[in-house]
Amino acid sequence: MTQHVIIAGAGPTGLLTAIGLAKAGTRVTILEAEAELNDSPRALVYHYPVLPHLEKLGLLQDCISEGFLRQSFGWHIHSTGEMIEWTGSPAYEDGQALHLHQGLLSQVLARHVAMLSNIEIRYQTRLQGCSQNADGVIAELDGPGGAERLEGDFLVGADGANSAVRRNVLGLQFYGVTWPERYVATNTKIDLSSVGYSPTVMQIDQKHGAVICKIDQSDVWRVTFVENPELPIEGLPERIDAMFADHLPDLPYEVLAASPYRMHQRVADKMREGRIILVGDAAHVTNPTGGLGLTGGMFDAFALIEALNRVLHDGADHDILEFYEQDRRRIFTEITSPRASLNLRSLYYLKEGQEKEERIQFLRNVAGNEELIRKELSFTEQLITRF
C-alpha cells in the first residue's frame, strides 16, 4: 500500500519535503491556508552545501536558471567607504552560494510538484486539529468544501513561525528572544554592480548597517535595513527613501516591493511528537543575517526526507525520527542561531572604537588568506545532519 504523508504549509520547506518523499513513492497531500504561494521579500541566499541536495532532487539547474551562483561577497565599512571582499577559490565549491528569491524558489518547486502525480496541494485549506495513534494520524481540515478528515501515516508541520501544528496540535512552547529592531526587506532596482558591489554585501554601521544582496541579473537587489518597531507601517515608503539616502550610493533606484517584519531567535521545546514532526520556521526561527534561515529549514527538509523514507520504505525503526529531532534542534541551538546572532551583532551592534576596529581587522585578515576564507565559509557544513 502507498504510504501517505500530510504536510501543513506550501512554503519552500514543505514543498521540498513533499518532492523528496514523493520521488521515493509516497503519496503526499500539502495543506496551504492561503489561496496562492507567498511571494513577499524573504529569503534569498542559500549556502553551498544545499546544492548537492537540490541536484539529487533534480531541482538545481532550474534554481540556477531562475537565479545565479556567486563566488564572493563583501563587507562594506559605511563610515570609511572601505569594501573588504572575500572570494572563495574556484577550486573549491565552498565559496559558492545560490541567489534565488524565495518566491521564485517556490515557483520552481511548485512546477516540480505539478510533475509528480502523487502530490496534491489543497489551497485555502486549514489544519484545524490532528490526532494520532499507533498506525497513523487523522487530520481535521477546513477547506472550500467544508470540514473533513484526512488520514495519513505522518503529519509534517511546515507552516512557518506562526505554526498551527506547533501551537494548536502539539501545544509546544517557542522559547527565545525578539530583537529590538524591525527588519525592512526591499526589492530594489539599482545598479550597484557599477560601483563595485559584490553580489552579497554586509554593511557595517550602528546606524547605517544593511544587508545588500543581488537578486537577479537585471540589477534588482534585496536591500534590508532596520528601524524602530514603534514606527507606524504607514509612511514606510517615505522612510525607505530617507534610509536609502544614507545607506546606499547616490544612484537612481526604484523600490519594487517592501516587507517589514520582526526578527527572532526562537526554538520549539521539541520538533517531534510521535508521528507529528516539525521542519523549518515551524520549529525554529532566526534573524536572516547571513542567509541561515531558509538554508537551515532546507537542511531540516533534506534530513527529514532521508529519515521518513527509511521508515516508510526500508523498515527503519522510528528511533531514526528521534535522532532527526534531537540533531536538528541541536544544530539550530548550537550553530545556526549563535552564528546568525553574531552576523547581526557585527552589522549593527559593534561598539565604536576597539571592538569595531578589531572586527574590521579580522575581516581584512581573512580576505587576504585563502585558508581562512575556506574556514569561515565551510562552517555551513556543520548544518548537515549525518545519519
Model confidence over 247-298: pLDDT tens digits?
Answer: 999 999 999 999 898 999 999 999 999 999 999 999 999 998 888 999 999 9
| Per-residue confidence (pLDDT) for residue 80, from 0 to 100 | 93
Per-residue pLDDT, averaged over 61-66, amounts to 94
| Per-residue confidence (pLDDT) for residue 87, from 0 to 100 | 83
Q: What is the pTM of this model?
A: 0.94
The CA radius of gyration of the chain, in Å to the nearest whole number, is 21
From CA 15, how far away is CA 11, in angstroms rounded?
Answer: 6
| Inter-residue contact 29 to 137 (CB < 8 Å) | no
| Per-residue confidence (pLDDT) for residue 307, from 0 to 100 | 98
Interval 124-171: pLDDT, tens: 999 999 999 999 999 999 999 999 999 999 999 999 999 999 999 999
Percent of the chain whose predicted confidence (pLDDT) is above 90: 80
User: Band of the pLDDT at 353, cuts 50, 70, 90?
Assistant: confident
Q: What is the mean pLDDT of the chain?
A: 93
| Per-residue confidence (pLDDT) for residue 290, from 0 to 100 | 87
φ and ψ at 216, to 5 degrees?
-150, -175
Judged against a pLDDT cut of 90, whether residue 339 lies above it is answered with: yes
Judged against a pLDDT cut of 90, whether residue 43 lies above it is answered with: no
**Which among 294, 291, 233, 230 is positioned nearest to 259, based on CA atoms?**
233
Side-chain-side CA neighbours of 253 within 13 Å: the count stands at: 26
Judged against a pLDDT cut of 80, whether residue 88 lies above it is answered with: no
First to last CA, the chain: 27
From CA 126, how far away is CA 180, in angstroms rounded?
Answer: 32
Judged against a pLDDT cut of 60, whether residue 70 lies above it is answered with: yes
| Per-residue confidence (pLDDT) for residue 91, from 0 to 100 | 46
From CA 287, how far away is CA 183, in angstroms rounded?
Answer: 9
